[in-house]
Amino acid sequence: MASVLEVSHLARSYRTNLSWRKYWILRDLTFSVEQGEIFGFIGPNGAGKTTTIKLIMDLVRPDSGDIRIFGERHRNVTVKKRIGFLPENPYFYDYLTAEEFLDFYARLFGFPRAIRRSRIDTLLERVGLANRRDRQLRKFSKGMLQRLGLAQALINEPELVILDEPMSGLDPVGRREVRDIILSLKAAGKTVFFSTHILSDTELICDRVGILNKGELRAVGRVSDLLGARVTHWEVAFSGLAPDSLPGLSRVVSREGREVLGVCQDEEEMHVLVRAILERGGSLQSVVPQRERLEDIFLREIQR
Protein backbone atom coordinates (compact mmCIF):
# COMPACT_ATOMS: atom_id res chain seq x y z
CA MET A 1 0.00 0.00 0.00
CA ALA A 2 1.29 3.48 -0.90
CA SER A 3 2.52 5.79 1.84
CA VAL A 4 0.75 9.14 2.03
CA LEU A 5 3.08 10.54 4.70
CA GLU A 6 6.74 9.59 5.15
CA VAL A 7 8.84 11.01 7.98
CA SER A 8 12.53 10.11 7.85
CA HIS A 9 15.18 10.72 10.54
CA LEU A 10 13.49 13.89 11.75
CA ALA A 11 15.21 15.89 14.50
CA ARG A 12 14.34 19.15 16.19
CA SER A 13 16.06 21.03 19.02
CA TYR A 14 15.97 24.39 20.76
CA ARG A 15 18.25 26.56 22.85
CA THR A 16 17.30 28.62 25.87
CA ASN A 17 18.22 32.29 26.18
CA LEU A 18 20.63 31.49 29.00
CA SER A 19 22.59 28.71 27.34
CA TRP A 20 23.91 27.61 23.97
CA ARG A 21 23.25 24.02 24.92
CA LYS A 22 20.85 22.17 22.62
CA TYR A 23 17.74 20.55 24.06
CA TRP A 24 16.31 17.87 21.78
CA ILE A 25 12.56 17.77 21.25
CA LEU A 26 12.71 15.05 18.59
CA ARG A 27 15.47 12.57 17.79
CA ASP A 28 15.76 10.49 14.61
CA LEU A 29 11.98 10.17 14.16
CA THR A 30 11.00 7.80 11.33
CA PHE A 31 7.55 6.47 10.45
CA SER A 32 5.05 6.34 7.59
CA VAL A 33 1.27 6.61 7.23
CA GLU A 34 -0.41 4.47 4.61
CA GLN A 35 -3.20 5.49 2.27
CA GLY A 36 -6.70 5.10 3.69
CA GLU A 37 -5.69 4.31 7.27
CA ILE A 38 -6.25 5.99 10.62
CA PHE A 39 -2.89 6.47 12.34
CA GLY A 40 -2.84 7.40 16.02
CA PHE A 41 0.22 9.30 17.25
CA ILE A 42 0.19 8.82 21.01
CA GLY A 43 2.37 9.98 23.85
CA PRO A 44 2.31 11.84 27.17
CA ASN A 45 2.22 15.63 27.36
CA GLY A 46 5.57 17.04 26.25
CA ALA A 47 6.52 13.98 24.20
CA GLY A 48 6.87 15.99 20.98
CA LYS A 49 3.55 15.22 19.25
CA THR A 50 2.58 18.81 18.48
CA THR A 51 6.12 19.66 17.38
CA THR A 52 6.01 16.75 14.94
CA ILE A 53 2.74 18.00 13.49
CA LYS A 54 4.10 21.54 13.19
CA LEU A 55 7.07 20.14 11.27
CA ILE A 56 4.79 18.14 8.97
CA MET A 57 2.68 21.24 8.34
CA ASP A 58 5.85 23.31 7.64
CA LEU A 59 5.10 25.68 10.52
CA VAL A 60 8.60 25.14 11.96
CA ARG A 61 11.79 23.83 10.38
CA PRO A 62 13.65 20.69 11.49
CA ASP A 63 17.33 20.49 12.40
CA SER A 64 17.58 17.52 10.06
CA GLY A 65 15.47 14.88 8.37
CA ASP A 66 12.99 14.67 5.53
CA ILE A 67 9.19 14.79 5.20
CA ARG A 68 7.37 13.54 2.11
CA ILE A 69 3.63 13.85 1.50
CA PHE A 70 2.15 12.05 -1.51
CA GLY A 71 5.76 11.40 -2.53
CA GLU A 72 6.58 15.13 -2.73
CA ARG A 73 8.44 17.53 -0.45
CA HIS A 74 6.04 18.71 2.23
CA ARG A 75 6.76 22.39 1.47
CA ASN A 76 5.25 22.05 -1.99
CA VAL A 77 2.17 24.31 -2.23
CA THR A 78 0.28 21.82 -4.41
CA VAL A 79 0.79 19.21 -1.70
CA LYS A 80 -0.53 21.53 1.01
CA LYS A 81 -3.76 22.01 -0.93
CA ARG A 82 -4.46 18.28 -0.47
CA ILE A 83 -4.19 18.46 3.34
CA GLY A 84 -6.80 19.34 5.95
CA PHE A 85 -5.49 20.51 9.33
CA LEU A 86 -7.02 21.08 12.75
CA PRO A 87 -4.56 22.46 15.35
CA GLU A 88 -4.81 21.64 19.04
CA ASN A 89 -6.14 25.10 19.94
CA PRO A 90 -7.94 26.51 16.90
CA TYR A 91 -9.21 30.08 17.07
CA PHE A 92 -12.94 30.61 16.66
CA TYR A 93 -14.36 34.06 15.95
CA ASP A 94 -17.04 34.49 18.61
CA TYR A 95 -19.40 36.71 16.65
CA LEU A 96 -19.35 34.76 13.40
CA THR A 97 -22.01 32.16 12.79
CA ALA A 98 -21.06 28.59 11.88
CA GLU A 99 -21.90 29.29 8.24
CA GLU A 100 -19.89 32.52 8.18
CA PHE A 101 -16.92 30.81 9.81
CA LEU A 102 -16.77 28.07 7.17
CA ASP A 103 -17.38 30.57 4.38
CA PHE A 104 -14.37 32.57 5.58
CA TYR A 105 -12.08 29.54 5.20
CA ALA A 106 -13.64 28.53 1.90
CA ARG A 107 -12.87 32.02 0.56
CA LEU A 108 -9.22 31.57 1.56
CA PHE A 109 -9.09 28.62 -0.84
CA GLY A 110 -10.59 30.79 -3.57
CA PHE A 111 -13.75 28.74 -4.08
CA PRO A 112 -16.57 30.46 -6.01
CA ARG A 113 -19.82 31.15 -4.18
CA ALA A 114 -21.77 28.17 -5.56
CA ILE A 115 -19.10 25.69 -4.49
CA ARG A 116 -18.76 27.37 -1.09
CA ARG A 117 -22.47 27.06 -0.38
CA SER A 118 -22.57 23.43 -1.49
CA ARG A 119 -19.58 22.39 0.62
CA ILE A 120 -20.76 24.29 3.68
CA ASP A 121 -24.19 22.63 3.46
CA THR A 122 -22.58 19.19 3.12
CA LEU A 123 -20.09 19.69 5.94
CA LEU A 124 -22.55 21.13 8.44
CA GLU A 125 -24.76 18.12 7.81
CA ARG A 126 -21.80 15.78 8.13
CA VAL A 127 -20.75 17.10 11.55
CA GLY A 128 -24.31 17.40 12.85
CA LEU A 129 -24.50 21.20 12.93
CA ALA A 130 -26.90 21.90 10.06
CA ASN A 131 -29.54 23.21 12.47
CA ARG A 132 -26.95 25.48 14.15
CA ARG A 133 -25.65 27.17 11.02
CA ASP A 134 -26.97 30.63 11.99
CA ARG A 135 -25.90 30.50 15.65
CA GLN A 136 -22.94 32.62 16.78
CA LEU A 137 -19.92 30.58 17.83
CA ARG A 138 -19.80 32.17 21.29
CA LYS A 139 -22.94 30.14 22.03
CA PHE A 140 -21.38 26.83 20.98
CA SER A 141 -20.29 24.14 23.43
CA LYS A 142 -16.75 22.73 23.38
CA GLY A 143 -17.94 19.66 21.50
CA MET A 144 -19.81 21.73 18.91
CA LEU A 145 -16.75 23.92 18.33
CA GLN A 146 -14.58 20.85 17.87
CA ARG A 147 -16.98 19.45 15.28
CA LEU A 148 -17.01 22.81 13.50
CA GLY A 149 -13.21 22.77 13.56
CA LEU A 150 -13.31 19.39 11.84
CA ALA A 151 -15.65 20.82 9.22
CA GLN A 152 -13.15 23.65 8.65
CA ALA A 153 -10.35 21.08 8.19
CA LEU A 154 -12.45 19.38 5.49
CA ILE A 155 -13.51 22.49 3.57
CA ASN A 156 -10.99 21.81 0.77
CA GLU A 157 -11.96 18.12 0.46
CA PRO A 158 -8.48 16.96 1.55
CA GLU A 159 -7.01 13.53 0.93
CA LEU A 160 -4.92 13.65 4.13
CA VAL A 161 -6.45 14.96 7.36
CA ILE A 162 -4.10 15.92 10.22
CA LEU A 163 -5.64 16.52 13.65
CA ASP A 164 -3.79 17.61 16.78
CA GLU A 165 -5.51 16.33 19.95
CA PRO A 166 -9.04 16.37 18.43
CA MET A 167 -10.65 14.76 21.52
CA SER A 168 -8.88 16.88 24.13
CA GLY A 169 -11.20 18.44 26.71
CA LEU A 170 -14.33 16.75 25.40
CA ASP A 171 -16.84 14.81 27.49
CA PRO A 172 -17.63 11.17 26.52
CA VAL A 173 -20.45 12.25 24.20
CA GLY A 174 -18.24 14.78 22.43
CA ARG A 175 -15.43 12.24 22.05
CA ARG A 176 -17.80 9.73 20.52
CA GLU A 177 -19.04 12.33 18.04
CA VAL A 178 -15.48 13.13 16.96
CA ARG A 179 -14.62 9.42 16.73
CA ASP A 180 -17.62 8.85 14.47
CA ILE A 181 -16.55 11.69 12.19
CA ILE A 182 -13.01 10.29 11.96
CA LEU A 183 -14.37 6.84 11.10
CA SER A 184 -16.59 8.40 8.42
CA LEU A 185 -13.49 9.99 6.89
CA LYS A 186 -11.84 6.59 6.62
CA ALA A 187 -15.02 5.17 5.06
CA ALA A 188 -14.83 7.96 2.47
CA GLY A 189 -11.28 6.93 1.54
CA LYS A 190 -9.44 9.66 3.46
CA THR A 191 -6.19 9.15 5.35
CA VAL A 192 -6.26 10.41 8.95
CA PHE A 193 -3.24 11.17 11.15
CA PHE A 194 -4.06 12.41 14.64
CA SER A 195 -2.23 12.92 17.90
CA THR A 196 -3.78 12.10 21.25
CA HIS A 197 -3.11 10.97 24.79
CA ILE A 198 -6.58 9.38 25.12
CA LEU A 199 -5.74 5.71 24.66
CA SER A 200 -9.27 4.27 24.75
CA ASP A 201 -10.25 6.30 21.68
CA THR A 202 -7.08 5.26 19.87
CA GLU A 203 -7.71 1.58 20.52
CA LEU A 204 -11.25 1.87 19.17
CA ILE A 205 -10.61 3.57 15.83
CA CYS A 206 -6.96 3.34 14.77
CA ASP A 207 -5.47 0.93 12.26
CA ARG A 208 -1.91 1.68 13.38
CA VAL A 209 -0.29 3.65 16.18
CA GLY A 210 3.07 5.17 17.00
CA ILE A 211 4.10 5.64 20.63
CA LEU A 212 6.26 8.73 21.20
CA ASN A 213 8.09 9.54 24.42
CA LYS A 214 10.76 12.17 25.06
CA GLY A 215 11.09 12.79 21.34
CA GLU A 216 11.74 9.18 20.40
CA LEU A 217 9.43 6.68 18.73
CA ARG A 218 9.25 3.74 21.14
CA ALA A 219 6.87 1.50 19.17
CA VAL A 220 4.89 1.53 15.94
CA GLY A 221 2.57 -1.06 14.42
CA ARG A 222 -0.94 -2.25 13.78
CA VAL A 223 -3.18 -2.05 16.85
CA SER A 224 -4.29 -5.66 16.36
CA ASP A 225 -0.65 -6.85 16.31
CA LEU A 226 0.36 -4.83 19.37
CA LEU A 227 -2.64 -5.97 21.40
CA GLY A 228 -2.25 -9.60 20.36
CA ALA A 229 1.42 -9.82 21.18
CA ARG A 230 1.31 -10.60 24.90
CA VAL A 231 -1.01 -12.42 27.29
CA THR A 232 -1.09 -10.75 30.72
CA HIS A 233 -3.08 -13.45 32.54
CA TRP A 234 -5.64 -16.23 32.08
CA GLU A 235 -9.23 -16.30 33.33
CA VAL A 236 -10.58 -19.76 34.14
CA ALA A 237 -14.27 -20.39 34.85
CA PHE A 238 -15.28 -23.62 36.61
CA SER A 239 -17.82 -25.06 39.04
CA GLY A 240 -18.23 -27.92 41.49
CA LEU A 241 -15.04 -27.35 43.48
CA ALA A 242 -13.93 -25.09 46.30
CA PRO A 243 -11.22 -22.79 44.94
CA ASP A 244 -9.22 -22.58 48.17
CA SER A 245 -7.37 -25.86 47.70
CA LEU A 246 -6.77 -25.70 43.94
CA PRO A 247 -3.15 -25.31 42.74
CA GLY A 248 -2.30 -22.72 40.10
CA LEU A 249 -5.11 -20.34 41.07
CA SER A 250 -3.71 -16.89 41.89
CA ARG A 251 -6.96 -15.21 42.90
CA VAL A 252 -10.72 -15.43 42.63
CA VAL A 253 -12.42 -12.69 40.61
CA SER A 254 -16.01 -13.69 41.35
CA ARG A 255 -17.96 -16.49 43.01
CA GLU A 256 -21.68 -17.15 42.63
CA GLY A 257 -22.92 -20.32 44.25
CA ARG A 258 -20.87 -23.19 42.81
CA GLU A 259 -19.54 -21.12 39.88
CA VAL A 260 -16.08 -19.58 40.20
CA LEU A 261 -14.09 -17.22 37.96
CA GLY A 262 -10.40 -17.36 38.80
CA VAL A 263 -7.15 -15.87 37.50
CA CYS A 264 -3.86 -17.56 36.67
CA GLN A 265 -0.81 -15.35 36.22
CA ASP A 266 0.81 -17.37 33.42
CA GLU A 267 0.23 -20.28 31.07
CA GLU A 268 2.00 -22.79 33.30
CA GLU A 269 -0.29 -21.96 36.24
CA MET A 270 -3.31 -22.21 33.92
CA HIS A 271 -2.36 -25.77 32.87
CA VAL A 272 -1.84 -26.78 36.52
CA LEU A 273 -5.27 -25.42 37.48
CA VAL A 274 -7.10 -26.98 34.53
CA ARG A 275 -5.51 -30.36 35.25
CA ALA A 276 -6.53 -30.16 38.92
CA ILE A 277 -10.13 -29.21 38.06
CA LEU A 278 -10.52 -32.15 35.68
CA GLU A 279 -8.76 -34.67 37.96
CA ARG A 280 -10.93 -33.72 40.95
CA GLY A 281 -14.21 -33.98 39.08
CA GLY A 282 -14.98 -30.30 38.64
CA SER A 283 -16.70 -28.78 35.62
CA LEU A 284 -14.44 -26.64 33.42
CA GLN A 285 -16.48 -23.96 31.66
CA SER A 286 -13.97 -21.69 29.91
CA VAL A 287 -10.31 -20.74 29.66
CA VAL A 288 -9.74 -17.26 28.24
CA PRO A 289 -6.38 -15.52 27.71
CA GLN A 290 -6.47 -11.84 28.63
CA ARG A 291 -4.23 -9.80 26.37
CA GLU A 292 -2.61 -6.43 26.93
CA ARG A 293 -4.61 -3.29 26.45
CA LEU A 294 -3.10 -0.38 24.60
CA GLU A 295 -2.73 1.38 27.95
CA ASP A 296 -0.52 -1.46 29.23
CA ILE A 297 1.71 -1.27 26.15
CA PHE A 298 1.86 2.52 26.33
CA LEU A 299 2.89 2.57 30.00
CA ARG A 300 5.52 -0.11 29.46
CA GLU A 301 7.05 1.72 26.50
CA ILE A 302 7.26 5.14 28.15
CA GLN A 303 8.73 3.72 31.36
CA ARG A 304 11.57 1.77 29.79
CA distances from 269 to 137, 239, 290 (A): 59, 18, 14
Are 260 and 125 in a shared domain? no
Point out the domain boundary residue: 227, 244, 262: 227
Are 142 and 243 in a shared domain? no
Are 219 and 154 in a shared domain? yes
Average pLDDT over residues 96-114: 95
Point out the domain boundary residue: 183, 199, 227: 227
Are 87 and 102 in a shared domain? yes
Q: What percent of the chain has pLDDT over 70?
A: 97
Point out the domain boundary residue: 227, 260, 292: 227
Q: Reply yes or no on whether the pLDDT at 90 is more than 70.
A: yes
Q: Name the pairing type of β-strands 191-196 and 38-42.
A: parallel
Are 244 and 216 in a shared domain? no
Are 124 and 139 in a shared domain? yes
What is the spatial distance between Cα 213 and Cα 46, in angstroms, rounded to a whole number? 8
Are 59 and 207 in a shared domain? yes
User: How many domains, the chain?
Assistant: 2
What is the spatial distance between Cα 31 and Cα 33, in angstroms, rounded to a whole number? 7
What is the spatial distance between Cα 238 and Cα 160, in angstroms, rounded to a whole number? 51
Are 282 and 192 in a shared domain? no
Are 223 and 240 in a shared domain? no
The CATH number that applies at residue 282 is: 3.30.70
Are 177 and 94 in a shared domain? yes
The CATH number that applies at residue 220 is: 3.40.50.300
Place 173 in a pLDDT band, splitting at 50, 70 and 90. Answer: confident
Over residues 73-88, the pLDDT tens digits come to 999 999 999 999 999 9
What pLDDT, on a 0 to 100 scale, did the predictor assign at position 95? 94
Q: Reply yes or no on whether the pLDDT at 120 is more than 80.
A: yes
Residue 106, helix vs strand vs coil: helix
Are 218 and 236 in a shared domain? no
Give percent helix, percent strand, percent coil of the chain, each to the nearest 5. 35, 35, 30
Place 293 in a pLDDT band, splitting at 50, 70 and 90. Answer: confident
Task: Name the amino acid, one letter, at 167.
Answer: M
What is the spatial distance between Cα 192 and Cα 51, in angstroms, rounded to a whole number? 18
Q: What is the DSSP string of 31-73?
A: EEEETT-EEEEE--TTSSHHHHHHHHTTSS--SEEEEEETTEE
- Rounded to the nearest integer, the mean pLDDT of the chain is 90
Average pLDDT over residues 204-218: 92
Domain that holds residue 269: 231-303
Are 72 and 202 in a shared domain? yes
